[in-house]
Amino acid sequence: MFLVVSTVLFICVASMLDAKPLAKKSVNSTNPFGPLTFQSDGTFQISIFEDLHFGENAWDQWGPQQDLNSVRVINEILDAESPGLVVLNGDLITGENGFLENSTVYVDQIVGPLVDRGLTWASTYGNHDYDYNISGCTILAREQQWSNSRTTQMVSGDDVGVSNYYLPVYDSDCADEACAPELILWFFDSKGGFRYQQKDDAGNRVGQPNWVDFAVVNWFLQTNAELVNTYSKTIPSLAFVHIPTFASYVLQEDGVDPNTEPGINDDVPLAPQAQGWCADGRNDGSCDYGGQDTSFMQAISEVPGLIAVFSGHDHGNTWCYKWDRLLPNMTVAPQNDVNLCFGQHSGYGGYGNWERGARQVLATKSKLENFEVDTWIRLESGSVVGSVSLNGTYGTDRYPATNDTETHCPTCDYSVIS
């Protein structure tokens, strides 16, 4: 195997943090926006953009037009909503179409609407963010040119990925750096795609594992335990990861009810972590699923206070499902009921014509006392669908079904595809 590795990769690896910061100063001291805080009315809202897929077929007329329409979607959503944080939850860029010299320039276009509004954001990276000419490291370097970015690294090691970290959210009147966060936001890198600037002896790109690494799981469990010990309480939390777990796959097989789990359910079967890998680590196409996300599933199902995990990847799924039981063909029995949610395909890049939009999450201090949040999807048409409360009765409460609407790029000429 021959390797051609850029300097940026080494800088990225060298800058990874082994420390697990607990107080506001150590987490946020380098961010001029300061720590994340609730509003004075006790609310904190998050807008999640999934699968933007910028940079697709930049050499054809329709490629740049898709990106312009994706920017329009971002603007329309942010005009209608008032988030305290924007999450870019993976597949920011269609990396296989990028060139080494400019593959990350699309970051500037993606975050332009956020910068214009003075908004701050945090990213996870997806399988299309990793390819021969792009990586989580190079995207992070581009992101960190903007002071609005809170994306960082807190785990080092081989195959751990880049976007593994957490962000605390504090009370609006908390001025003491030793005060306890009201909410913890966890970000995980499910990787996938291909290794940066690596090819095998036959000149083929080298595949990269597509699951949250075991070392990251250990960091998550250890860091959460430290937070509980430091603040002497269980802090409510939310998590973001691009590729869903195998538990979502089995829940979908078990049946998604359009009234108790409202949302689109068109990607059947969905594509989970460890898909296409064998249990022994081979990814030669001979296995459907290797089970390497089992430790991550165990962790998210046993950590107290984790309310929901939000994923993308499967553009045609937008539901939330409460994982509250041992599922068929699985060994992981959840100890705490955690909701596994999809967002909405946000970009005009990537497959599918489902109406673009973004999932919203509203955390309210009063509801967090019971480990509950509200969530809905804002579509580019302005409509709101799938508005639910992720509470103790979610999964039995009944809601209106979500209409399966579509949108098409109005300025794209797909008659020429190079």
**CA nearest neighbour of 242 among 173, 311, 188:** 311
Decide if 113 contacts 346 (C-beta within 8 A): no
Cβ(250)–Cβ(328) below 8 Å = yes
The DSSP bridge pattern shows strands 384-390 and 373-379 to be antiparallel
Angle of helix 106-116 relative to helix 136-143, nearest 10 degrees?
Answer: 40
First to last CA, the chain: 30
**pTM, 2 dp:** 0.93
DSSP codes joined into one string, 289-353? B--TTHHHHHHHHHSTTEEEEEE-S-TTB--EEEE-SPPTT--PPPSS-EEEEE--B--SSSS--
Beta strands at 85-89 and 121-124: parallel, antiparallel or unpaired = parallel
- The answer to whether the CB of 54 falls within 8 A of the CB of 110 is yes
DSSP 8-state secondary structure symbol assigned to residue 356: P
Phi, psi of 142 (to 5 degrees): -70, -40
C-alpha 12/C-alpha 204 separation (Å) is 24
For residue 228, the surrounding DSSP H or E stretch is helix 214-231
Per-residue pLDDT of the chain (418 residues; tens, 9 = 90+): 333 333 333 346 433 333 333 223 233 334 668 899 999 999 999 999 999 999 999 999 999 999 999 999 999 999 999 999 999 999 999 999 999 999 999 999 999 999 999 999 999 999 999 999 999 999 999 999 999 999 999 999 889 999 999 999 999 988 566 789 999 999 999 999 999 999 999 999 999 999 999 999 999 999 999 999 999 999 999 999 999 999 999 999 999 999 999 999 999 999 999 999 999 999 999 999 999 999 999 999 999 999 999 999 999 999 999 999 999 989 999 999 999 999 999 999 999 999 999 999 999 999 999 999 999 999 999 999 999 999 999 999 999 999 999 999 999 999 988 8
Give the list of residues 6+ apart from residue 401 with CB closer than 8 angstroms, or none.
258, 259, 262
The SS3 call for residue 198 is strand
HEC string of 254-267 equals: HCCCCCCCCCCECC
Amino acid found at 195: R
Q: Residue 330 and residue 320: Cα distance in Å, rounded?
A: 19
- If we measure between CA atoms, which residue out of 272, 271, 269, 241 comes closest to residue 255? 269
| Strand order through the sheet with 165-170 | 36-37, 165-170, 183-188, 237-241, 306-311, 338-342, 320-323
